[in-house]
Chains A and B, each alone.
Chain A
Amino acid sequence: MTDESKLIAAAQAGSADAFCGLARLYRERLLRFLLTRCASFADAEDALQDTLIAAFRYIHSYDSRWRFSTWLYRIAIRNAAKLRGPDTVDIGDLRDEENDPLQQCIADSETQNLWVSARSTLNDEVFTAMWLRYAEDMSVNDISTTLDRSVSWTKVNLMRGRRALETQMNSAANQSEAYG
């Protein structure tokens, strides 16, 4: 039994301390993901808090056949969508660069962060699939479970996302070469 499984079992038995331990394992990763989905840092923090509260409240519904991160991301995606409301446009269209919480959290670098351009290039679901695959190293099956989509949909959209981002990456590389 891993440490994580022990914490889950204890949390399912009602231990808030055990769940706080679990939360500490995932909260930075979740916050980083929510930052790409929310319009402000405060929204991302609220979404994180709501996600963890919902996860603890419904910890009994967690099925150990899934990875805990898969289950947690499902809740996080739902919470982020709830914060934004049903009629909002894709997150890539929402903000100006100065107030963009994602831009503010990116360490200075010579090259542009691909996730920033991914957000404006890809739609929400494809962005999330790409994030889970390449930032979280999740399997295609887990991604399809998290997004409530078929495996084939996930594979096709990961491929599309890759193509779009490869084009972005290559054009950025060509530009930087052109400018010397």
Chain B
Amino acid sequence: MDKLAKKLRADAERIEVTVSDELDRRINASLRAVEPVEQAPRTAKPPFFWLASTLTGVAAAVAVIAIVNWQSPDEPTSATPVNFVAAVPVIDLKAESAMLTGPLQDELDKLQSDLKKAEEKVKRDIGL
């Protein structure tokens, strides 16, 4: 204990107080006339209290969300709605190979036919 602490302790003890008999009687009489205030007993919660309160909370939250959304202003509508999905060409992936090879096949058939005609013409010319 340092010097200041010792001095403060000693000075506190130098404050001489005594509770007089009269004050003692007064305090005792008052205490006997007082009834301690009973604390309200904590009531036991029903078994499904927490589940019920959780459900109530969730229901309240849903109700608030619904009300907020219901009260939100109408979304502005555009003058000419554009159907972007329709503007984008849809490619049928299964038909893709047939679509791409079709014109080539036609060209091949035509060339083979031309080749056959030319072959017959040459045969006629040489008298076979």
Of the listed stretches B21-29, B68-76, B94-102, chain A binds B21-29
Q: Is A23 an interface residue (CB 8 A)?
A: yes
Contact of B8 among A31, A59, A130 (CB under 8 A): A130
Q: Contacts A14-B36, A169-B4 known; A113 to B15 CB distance under 8 Å? A: yes
B15 adjacent to A102 (CB under 8 Å): yes
Main secondary structure of the interface of A (DSSP, over half): helix
B23 adjacent to A134 (CB under 8 Å): no
Q: Is B104 an interface residue (CB 8 A)?
A: no
Q: Is A71 an interface residue (CB 8 A)?
A: no
We find that the number of chain B residues with CB closer than 8 angstroms to chain A is 27
A115 adjacent to B31 (CB under 8 Å): no
B37 adjacent to A114 (CB under 8 Å): no
Partner-B contacts on A (CB < 8 A): 11-12, 14, 16, 19-20, 23, 27-28, 31-32, 35-36, 45, 48-49, 52-53, 56-61, 102, 105-107, 109, 113-115, 130-131, 134-135, 162, 165-166, 169
13 A-B pairs (CB sep. < 8 Å)? A20-B32, A28-B17, A31-B19, A48-B19, A52-B30, A57-B37, A60-B38, A107-B15, A113-B11, A114-B7, A130-B8, A131-B12, A169-B4
